[in-house]
Structure 1
């Protein structure tokens, strides 16, 4: 646990008592704060009280006497579509609102660092797609190369549940737009933007607000090094804003397709090869085609981002390359589940939007595509340019019929459930095919989250071996 600094004897309220909320309350108490808490769920409040937490109804005006700060969980709206009533009350009363990410950045560094030979570092990763894989890959490379490291944030451990810093340690954080938008302190040593595509637009009142939330990671604290994906206009704009001149190597531009052989420092992937350029000269090259844990151009972009971040903290190219080959990938993200009778089964349940599904569809040939669930605004018409490799689509769930109308002449069949779609795809698949779960939709029509959907797909594939 990382005790929160600067809160001794202050009365601080915590809104939301899920995993991050409970961890935040404990870290505040460890820092000497008097913690009160509230959650909209009756059962959640009862469980918290049973654990000894002081629950206070923050919807009441008289509950706010003496409260100096409100700390909210990231999933609770603080501005759009409208602020949660408790957060709105804090704004009206002039009470500062923060989240666990802000508390982490103000508390991670301590006086004990003076005794370290090498100061700890923080690498923070954000973006629309690939940030979990990039975060896990950076952590894997650091660990494989013998650097002390922890991973947390939107993946793995909550930030305030991490251990206090070690000499020379590198903490790798995945940060969502919900987390970066509200944090009052954002001071990573290395900040990474993988890419940007429309997502969570209701929480940010449009793409501009969404980008602004991501941009805060780079603008608020000024990282020593910024790794920026420039394959979208927003990334190109951000890189231009941060660099003071073409020779400014504090900005590393990355791309999954463009040749970036000009400028101070760049890393790009083309035709399966990663290249690093410094001041117009190539200094390293890695063949990514045989790295099984990173299939497809979208994962090559993740590799570029991770490579650049690890180079920023002093790792050598050949050590990074060796670590690439031992990376197994993350569950539900282009995860190879099985190979059966010459057919590969790939679980990309995390592909919940058009952009991430498009990347998955470009990563494989001869695809038996399983898609469906609860469709998002705009449907899947945007996938039309990426369907050339699809032999047949197996559409299931709430939006299956809508999806069928949007995929043109692509052969398809409609099913009620994932079980039926997997059975049909497996029975029709031929040697060399890939049965790919890339839903392009949310899971909430039939599953509580994309993880459960991916786990079900994995179980169904494993059952095929027993049939």
Structure 2
């Protein structure tokens, strides 16, 4: 646990008692604060009370009298589309609002670090797609290289639940836009921006607000190194804002769309080969084509980001390459779950938006595509470049018929349920085909989470093999 610093004797309100909220309450208490906990869910309140925390209705009049600050869980809106009533009450009372990420960054460094040979480092990863895989890949490479490393944030453990890092330890954080937007302290040593595509637009008041939330990770804390995907205009802009000159190697540019040249530091992947260039000369390379845990151009972008982050810590290219080779991938992200009679079965349930689904479609050939769910705003037109790889689409979800109508470039079958879709796809699949779950939609019309949807797909496939 990372005890929160600077809160001794203070009354600190905690709104939302899921994983991050409860871990924040524990860390606040460990730092000498008095947490006042609230959640609209009675079961969550019961869990907090069972741990001995004070539960107080933060929506009642006067709830913020003598409260020093409010800590908010990521899923609770604080501005758009409308502030949660408790957040609004705190702001009206002049009470500062923060989250567990802000508490972490202000509490991580302690006097004991003065006795370390190498101060601990924090690598923070954000972006629209690929941040989970990039974060996990960095952590895996470091661990395989014998470095002390912990994975936390939007993946793995809550940031305040981790152990205090030791001499030379590295903390790898995956951070969503919800987390970066609200944190009052953001001071990573290395910050990574994978890419940007429209997502969570209602929560951020549009694409500009969404990008601004991501940008805070770089603008607020001033990382020593910034790894920036430059295949979108926003990434180009961000890299340009951070660099003092073309050869400024504090900014490492990443691409899977073009060969990067110039006097600076760049890592790019073309035709399955990763290349590192510094001051116009090649400094390293990796053949990514045979690495099963990193299929497709989108995973090659993740590999470039992870490679660059690890290089900033002094790891040699060959050491990073060995880590890549043993990386098995993450569940529900281009996860190869089975192969039979020449047919591959791939679970990419995490492809909850059009951009991530497109990347999955471009990673495979002869696809029997299971798609559909709770469609996000913007429509499905962005999938067009990947549809040439689709043999047939099998559409699930409550609005499967409407979803299918937008896929007029491919043959479709309205299946509605996962069981029916897997049945149809497996009955028609031939050697060389890939049965791919890449929904291009949220799961909440039929499932509690994208994980549950992916688990259902895997269970249906395994039951028929």
Q: 1:150-189 residue pairs with structure 2 within 5 A? A: 150-189=150-189
Aligned mates of 1:460, 1:376 — CA distance in 2: 26
Q: Does 1:139 align with 2:139?
A: yes
The DSSP-based 3-state class of the residue aligned with 1:212 is: helix
Q: Does 1:405 align with 2:402?
A: no
The DSSP-based 3-state class of the residue aligned with 2:62 is: helix
Q: Does 1:333 align with 2:341?
A: no
185-194 vs 259-268, which moves further: 259-268
Aligned mates of 2:147, 2:47 — CA distance in 1: 39
Q: Equivalent residue for 1:423? A: 423
Q: Equivalent residue for 2:99? A: 99
Q: Equivalent residue for 2:295? A: 295
The DSSP-based 3-state class of the residue aligned with 1:446 is: coil
Is the Cα contact below 8 Å between 2:253 and 2:265 reproduced in 1?
A: yes
Q: CA deviation at 1:401?
A: 1.2
Q: Equivalent residue for 1:117? A: 117
Q: Equivalent residue for 1:392? A: 392
Is the Cα contact below 8 Å between 1:379 and 1:403 reproduced in 2?
A: no
Q: Equivalent residue for 2:368? A: 368
Q: 1:311-322 residue pairs with structure 2 within 5 A? A: 311-322=311-322
Q: CA deviation at 1:93?
A: 0.8
Q: Equivalent residue for 1:206? A: 206
Matched residue count: 465
Aligned mates of 1:79, 1:186 — CA distance in 2: 19
The DSSP-based 3-state class of the residue aligned with 1:61 is: coil
Q: Deviations over 1:267-323 (max 9, x none)?
A: 000000000000111111110000110000000000000000000111000100111
Aligned mates of 2:212, 2:59 — CA distance in 1: 30
Q: 1:64-79 residue pairs with structure 2 within 5 A? A: 64-79=64-79
Q: CA deviation at 1:52?
A: 1.4
- Superposed structure 1 runs of 4+ greater than 6 Å apart: none
Is the Cα contact below 8 Å between 1:130 and 1:299 reproduced in 2?
A: yes
Is the Cα contact below 8 Å between 1:98 and 1:183 reproduced in 2?
A: yes
Q: Does 1:264 align with 2:269?
A: no
Q: CA deviation at 1:35?
A: 1.2
The DSSP-based 3-state class of the residue aligned with 1:3 is: coil
Q: CA deviation at 1:357?
A: 0.3
Is the Cα contact below 8 Å between 2:121 and 2:170 reproduced in 1?
A: yes
What's the TM-score once normalised by structure 1's chain length? Answer: 0.99
233-242 vs 258-267, which moves further: 258-267
Q: 1:221-240 residue pairs with structure 2 within 5 A? A: 221-240=221-240
Q: CA deviation at 1:32?
A: 0.4
Return 5+ residue gaps in structure 1 as ranges: none
The DSSP-based 3-state class of the residue aligned with 2:345 is: strand
Aligned mates of 1:34, 1:407 — CA distance in 2: 55
Q: Deviations over 1:328-356 (max 9, x none)?
A: 00000000000011000000000010000
Q: Does 1:324 align with 2:313?
A: no
The DSSP-based 3-state class of the residue aligned with 1:67 is: coil
Aligned mates of 1:219, 1:120 — CA distance in 2: 21
Q: Equivalent residue for 2:34? A: 34
Is the Cα contact below 8 Å between 1:384 and 1:408 reproduced in 2?
A: no
Is the Cα contact below 8 Å between 2:387 and 2:409 reproduced in 1?
A: no
Aligned mates of 1:271, 1:187 — CA distance in 2: 35
Aligned mates of 1:19, 1:5 — CA distance in 2: 20
Q: CA deviation at 1:60?
A: 1.7
Q: Equivalent residue for 2:280? A: 280
Q: Equivalent residue for 2:461? A: 461
Is the Cα contact below 8 Å between 1:261 and 1:281 reproduced in 2?
A: no
Aligned mates of 2:263, 2:362 — CA distance in 1: 29
Q: Equivalent residue for 1:444? A: 444
Q: Deviations over 1:394-437 (max 9, x none)?
A: 11112321222111231111112010001110010000000000
Is the Cα contact below 8 Å between 1:140 and 1:327 reproduced in 2?
A: yes
Return 5+ residue gaps in structure 2 as ranges: none
The DSSP-based 3-state class of the residue aligned with 1:307 is: helix
Q: Deviations over 1:131-174 (max 9, x none)?
A: 00000000000000010000000001000000011000010000
Aligned mates of 2:61, 2:403 — CA distance in 1: 48
The DSSP-based 3-state class of the residue aligned with 1:226 is: strand
63-72 vs 147-156, which moves further: 63-72
* Aligned-CA RMSD value: 0.8
Q: CA deviation at 1:261?
A: 2.0
Q: CA deviation at 1:62?
A: 2.1
Q: CA deviation at 1:245?
A: 0.4
Q: Equivalent residue for 1:22? A: 22
Aligned mates of 2:278, 2:312 — CA distance in 1: 13
The DSSP-based 3-state class of the residue aligned with 2:191 is: strand
Aligned mates of 2:281, 2:399 — CA distance in 1: 50
Q: Equivalent residue for 2:86? A: 86
Is the Cα contact below 8 Å between 2:8 and 2:32 reproduced in 1?
A: yes
Q: CA deviation at 1:66?
A: 1.0
Q: Deviations over 1:161-213 (max 9, x none)?
A: 00011000010000000000000000000000000000000100000000000
Q: Equivalent residue for 1:251? A: 251
